[in-house]
Structure formats: C-alpha cells, structure tokens
Amino acid sequence: MPSTTFFHLPAEKRERLLAAARAEFVRVPYEDASINRMIREAGIPRGSFYMYFTDKEDLFRYLMESYGQQLVEQVEEWLDRDGGDLFQAFLDLFDYLQANRNSDDFREMAAILRRNQRLQPGLILNRQGPCAIVDRLRDKIDLSRLDLRSETDLPDLFHLLISAVAGTMLTAEQDGGLEQARARLIRILGILQRGVAAKEAVPGRGQQ
C-alpha cells in the first residue's frame, strides 16, 4: 500500500503520478513497465517514488485495487437490491461494465487487463485475493441459495465468477459482440449454479 507520505501529497501531485503509472501500464505489460518512464512523465525524483511506494508491484496493486474498490461497492448495492443473489449481481456487474465501457476509467482498466492476461490473479485482485472481497460481502449474500461445503467454497466461487466476467468482457469482440458475450456469460453462470456432475453418476475408472 502507498505510504502515508503519498496520501499527504497535494491531490494534483498524487494524480499526476497515478496518471503516469496508468499510462505506462496501458502502454506495455507489467513486466516491461518502467518506473523511470513513470517518474519522468510525472516530473518527480526517483527517490521520491520510493517514499510513496515500495516498488512497481506495490504501485500496480494499488491501481488495480482502486479499480476493484469501485466495482465491489457496486456489487454491494446489487446484492442489496437483488436479495443477495450472487449470480445476478455478477450479471449486473457485466452489464455495468458494458454500459460504462467508454468511460476513461473503464478503458484504462480494460487496457491494463488485456496487457496482463497472463499475470497471477493475486497481482490483479485485492492483496488478500477473493477472501477479502468475500469477507466484505458475505453478510449481503443469500447463502441459502448456495451449496457450500467448505470454508474455501465461497472464495473459490468468487474467483470463478470474477474470471468469468473478466474473460467474457475481454473476448466480447472475438465472440461476436456484446449480446453474444452476455449470452455466453449467462450460460457460464448457469453451469456454475447447477453444476455439471450427473446426480447419479456411474463411477468411471478413476472412481472405482
């Protein structure tokens, strides 16, 4: 996380550094992003950068968590509105992202995600991963709708839902447009809701 020194900077100086960082992560993948280019664009000394952030990863995580914070707040509202229906909330998330796809924030976030599709999810999600998101939203989710059998089921389900929405968003054009992408997401959500194992499956070789 940024240091207290960063948060005590004038808002204009903070935004100048963050804007330079966003532009750099849009321009090149994370591994090729250069702190030198960021600070040159922002007009700050290299030493000052390390007073604000530990390293490039610290800055990248902060940017992604800032995007994520906005989305989690929206999901909270949808869970309240939809009676705790987690699957409907993630479909609402897809619709929200599509409706705002031309906004500067979304275009930047989408461009960074496209550049970094191979990154470990932990770099893109909250530092504590889906568990931190689950802890915040758990009380708003109608758990009676879910067949949860262990403590890790809900965080794992969140990871799958986030991946489904992000993957569908990023491949919308390749899949034939937004309507087709939304229909595909609905099918994926349906699979997750019902499961795919036969109710009375005949044991296969690996089950005997």
* CB atoms closer than 10 angstroms to residue 29: 14
pLDDT tens-place string over residues 120-153: 555 555 555 567 778 889 999 999 999 999 999 9
pLDDT band (50, 70, 90) for residue 69? confident
pLDDT tens-place string over residues 177-207: 888 889 999 999 999 999 877 766 555 555 5
**CA-to-CA distance for 7 and 52, rounded, in angstroms?**
8
**pTM of the entire predicted model:** 0.76
Q: Which of the 8 DSSP states describes residue 146?
A: S
Reported in sequence order, the residue ranges of the chain that DSSP labels E, i.e. its strands, are none
The enclosing H or E element of 130 equals helix 130-137
> Mean per-residue pLDDT for 79-94?
95
pLDDT band (50, 70, 90) for residue 176? low
80 within 8 A of 29, measured Cβ to Cβ = no
Distances (CA, A) of 131 to 84, 136, 139, 144, 184: 18, 9, 13, 19, 26
> Mean per-residue pLDDT for 46-74?
91
Sign for the pseudo-dihedral over CA of 52, 57, 60, 66 = negative
152 within 8 A of 129, measured Cβ to Cβ = no
> Mean per-residue pLDDT for 15-41?
95
The enclosing H or E element of 186 equals helix 178-194
137 within 8 A of 71, measured Cβ to Cβ = no
Distances (CA, A) of 105 to 97, 98, 153, 160, 177: 10, 12, 31, 24, 21
pLDDT band (50, 70, 90) for residue 67? confident
Question: Which range among 10-19, 35-44, 65-74, 123-132 shows the weakest confidence by mean pLDDT?
Answer: 123-132
